[in-house]
Chain A
Amino acid sequence: MSTALSVRGLVKEYVRGKKVLDGITIDFAASGLTAVIGPSGTGKSTLLRCVNRLVEPTAGEIHFGGRDIAPLGGRALREARREIGMVFQEYNLVERLSVMENLLSGRLGYTPAFKAWLRRFPQEDIDRAFALLDQVGLASFANQRADALSGGQRQRVGIARAVMQRPKLLLADEPTSSLDPKTSVEIMGIMRDLGREHGIPVIVNMHDVELAKRFADRILGMSGGRIVYDGPPDGLTDDVLKTIYGGESWLH
């Protein structure tokens, strides 16, 4: 299977000398859902945000779409970003905009400002937005303001917005951490299904190990800015979990 994303020697220091990411080198296949687990503050979020450059890497390479996107800036960076969809923990919808406008904001990388201002999006994009709303079960919410939605509904909009980009890679930064267990399962199901349907790799940061085992094809365990486990969900034994999270009293 070909490689969609290849991270080489990625280092991130927010404070000089304090490595949050300590030389991460890893490849992601062109399909499948990868769950990244690990204790809080271990750099999971930083890893994801370095990939779409919401966070500036200190050193290292990020190969995506046939080029290293780590040194890109300006237009080239925006063109790389629009091929990477991102789902956020707190949904990050634009609260005052309608659900439809939030979905169409996924097309902003392709829409000139003047047309975006007048809401002149191509009919093709609008049709696709309606189709995606049907798919995530929010067909009747198109004209509702985003702040009128519940958490689970917002996250569905967040996922639909990311998929609107027709991304070649879908990132999700703890997409279920603010949701109840039942909704979490539904959201993970939607992400897995959309990833399969569009044939794109999905990388999800998460805290819920059981949920990760249930939905992921591959699991990365991070600890102290390094990857300490890389393998199938079955391989997550108690010993491995102890390596990732430390301690053991919490396991039983």
Chain B
Amino acid sequence: MIEPVTRAPQRRHAFPPNWWARIGWLVLAAYVAYALGRLDFSWDRFVTGLDNGARFIGRMLPPRIAQPDSLAKGLIESLEIAILASSMGILLSLPIGLFAARNLMPVWATWPARAIIAAARSFHPVIVAIIFVKAVGFGALAGICALVVASIGFIGKLFAEAIEEISLKQVEAVRATGASFMNVILFGVLPQVFGRFIGFATYQLDSNLRNSTMVGIVGAGGIGGTLFSAFQRFDYDFVAAILLSIIAMIMVGEVLATWVRGVFLEKGKVDEE
């Protein structure tokens, strides 16, 4: 039997206050105010900047293709860098990602594979591009190498994580048929991660396209070099033309990536991703 409560019930908190979280928010707000003051981020400074920006945009209009040859050459080179780097990066990240998956591989395999992935992810592609320009000289080769490294870091890591999330029951069933290790990978593992892998790969192609327009700034080939020299000559109308063509190229890349996904992943069966 349930006795009625006679004594005054103690006040209970449905949502107890979290003092540490409150202190955290206060500290963050104080730091933001402090940093704003330090970096001269003020309204006056912003208005001065706007004037400058208006002049800059005025000089960009109308866009003018001053050097059609170097624009075309730069764009084509960027596209080549992106496609080559993506293909090689994807091919290399397949085995590296597989070796890094801790549910299938012994420690002696996952440790070095994870070290490679971590190293590839440590630096921004611009820094990697600078290193490769110093190592192999100016030009597209340095750009390709830099973006291959970026691709390995990104796809390798996500691919390894995708493999670590697969259902081992399916793998066990394939293993029970007496299949070799390679066949277990082909029939038990890859089908489970293929859809996600296509997703990572097309995203990385997209990302490499954008990055391929940037590595040229440090001399690693592509449209970035053309853009940088136009900036240095104050050819802002040509800069505008280059920026517009980069936007066009990225959009084409987006369409291409969507098409690739459509080919590999049948409609309506992309579930869960």
Contacts and interface: CB of A to CB of B under 8 A. Distances in A.
B178 A94 contact: no
Interface string B155-179: 0000000000001011011111111
B188 interface: yes
Interface in A120-145: 145
A105 B169 contact: no
Contact of A92 (B173, B182, B184): B173
Interface stretch (A38-46, A109-117, A236-244): A109-117
A219 to B, nearest CB: 24
Nearest to B185: A113
A94 B178 CA distance: 16
B177 A113 contact: no
B192 A113 contact: no
Interface residues of B, number: 23
B191 A52 contact: no
A149 B105 CA distance: 32
A158 B167 CA distance: 16
B45 interface: no
Residue among B167, B169, B184, B192 with max Cβ neighbours from chain A (10 Å): B169
A188 to B, nearest CB: 20
B173 A94 contact: yes
B191 A97 contact: yes
B192 A95 contact: yes
B178 A80 contact: yes
Contact of A54 (B175, B183, B191): B175
Contacts of A108: 174, 177-180, 183-184, 187
A96 B192 contact: yes
Given A52-B176, A80-B178, A105-B174, A94 B269 contact: no
Contacts of B199: none
Interface in B68-95: none
Interface in A139-197: 145, 158, 161, 165
B178 A81 contact: yes
B264 to A, nearest CB: 12
A101 interface: yes
B194 interface: yes
Across chains A and B, which 5 residue pairs bring their CB atoms closest together, nearest first? Answer: A82-B178, A109-B178, A108-B179, A92-B173, A113-B182
13 contacts: A54-B176, A78-B179, A82-B179, A88-B169, A93-B170, A94-B174, A95-B167, A96-B192, A105-B177, A105-B188, A109-B179, A116-B186, A116-B187
Interface of A: 52, 54, 78-86, 88, 90, 92-97, 101, 105-109, 111, 113, 116-117, 145, 158, 161, 165
Interface of B: 167, 169-170, 172-180, 182-184, 186-188, 191-192, 194-195, 269
